[in-house]
Amino acid sequence: EDKVVQSPLSLVVHEGDTVTLNCSYEVTNFRSLLWYKQEKKAPTFLFMLTSSGIEKKSGRLSSILDKKELFSILNITATQTGDSAIYLCAVEQGGSEKLVFGKGTKLTVNP
Amino acid sequence: DTAVSQTPKYLVTQMGNDKSIKCEQNLGHDTMYWYKQDSKKFLKIMFSYNNKELIINETVPNRFSPKSPDKAHLNLHINSLELGDSAVYFCASSRTASPLHFGNGTRLTVT
């Protein structure tokens, strides 16, 4: 069965800390891996990863994919209270337009 | 504003009723989706339509019936609502091999 497993399920840090969120997957016909941030409403897109070893970066956030070991990490440096959210990892299956989501990591950044 | 918009935002109804949720996207995307997010924040695909044609139909009770009058709209009708249908329902859209754009969700509460 296709699955995406995120860890940890929740994380509480202080402002300024660096965090690493993990996502491992077992999915048939892998096409891409995506990271989303969900605050109160809609998940918003962060990164889309298709190739191993190429880091994608946006400000304090960065992500990388390892297709051999079947995982990805999302790093957030110098965390701020506004980074508090649920971070969702999803894997897209080729040919089906289907995203399989993990259960998310709830990140809480305290001032 | 370019967006995926869904209505209503909140829906409170009694068991046994029939209700509909509407979704529209003005992004020019070919594919639209319905996802269900349960109380544990787990997002799972329900349906996917590409140019008005059903392409994904996960194991969802047949009380749920999607309808796509055109490629910019995908509505979800639910018959004989049950307590377990309480969740947040997200509409989303995408181009092929591109990230999903989510609507803000409809919180359905069945009492």
pLDDT tens digits, residue range A31-45? 999 999 999 889 999
Distance set, CA B14 to CA A16, B78, B85, B107 (Å): 47, 12, 11, 14
Instruction: Report how far apart the first and last C-alpha atoms of chain B are (Å, whole number).
Output: 35
CA distance B91 to A102: 18
pLDDT in tens, chain A (111 residues): 789 999 999 999 999 999 999 999 998 889 999 999 999 889 999 999 999 999 999 999 999 999 999 999 999 999 999 999 999 999 998 877 778 999 999 999 999
A14-18, A86-90, B27-31, B89-93: least confident range: B27-31
Hey, of B100, B104, B107, which one would you mutate to test binding to chain A, going by the most A CBs within 10 A of its CB? Answer: B100
In chain B, what residues touch A48 (CB-CB under 8 Å)? 98-99
Residue of A nearest to B41 (CA): A103
Question: Is the predicted pLDDT of residue B96 greater than 90, yes or no?
Answer: no
Angle value at C-alpha A17, between A12 and A21, nearest 5 degrees? 60
pLDDT at A17: 97
Instruction: Examine residue A8 and say whether the peptide bond preceding it is cis (omega within 30 degrees of 0).
Output: yes
CA distance B47 to B30: 14
Angle value at C-alpha B59, between B41 and A104, nearest 5 degrees? 20
Interchain proximity A101–B43, CB inside 8 Å: yes
What is the average pLDDT across B43-50? Answer: 90
Place of tokens 């649920």: A86
pLDDT at B2: 62
Question: Is the predicted pLDDT of residue B1 greater than 70, yes or no?
Answer: no
